[in-house]
Amino acid sequence: MVEKSVPSLRAAGGVAFLPTSPGLYQLTASNPAIPSYWVLPRHTRPNELAWTEAAILRNVGSIVYVADPELDTGHPWPFDDFLAAHFRRTEVSPGVTVFERNRA
């Protein structure tokens, strides 16, 4: 079960909810750390993915990834490699995974 609070995640840097969910930002009283782009295999164009990855590296310390089984198909894909290179999975519950930025 995901147990970390959004304020504790924000303490480590910006929080990104992926795929983007304005409702989750409103419910958690947090501001988006990156502009709104859906990051899903087969739906995100390569140039949008590259732009989003660069924005994440500049502004995000934690990612809350909410799985959508109907849309989130087509793994592995380049974003999986990006996550593995720059983030570590810290919590997993059914449908939600929290990633925190690797610190050098």
Q: Say what the pLDDT of residue 3 is.
A: 56
What is the pLDDT at residue 12?
61
What is the full per-residue pLDDT of the chain (104 aa) written as tens digits?
Answer: 455 666 566 556 788 888 877 777 777 777 787 776 678 888 888 999 999 999 999 999 999 888 888 877 888 889 999 999 999 999 998 888 999 999 86
* Model pTM score: 0.82
C-alpha distance from residue 43 to each of 71, 77, 79 (Å): 8, 11, 12
With tokens 């164009």, the residue in question is 45
pLDDT at 1: 47
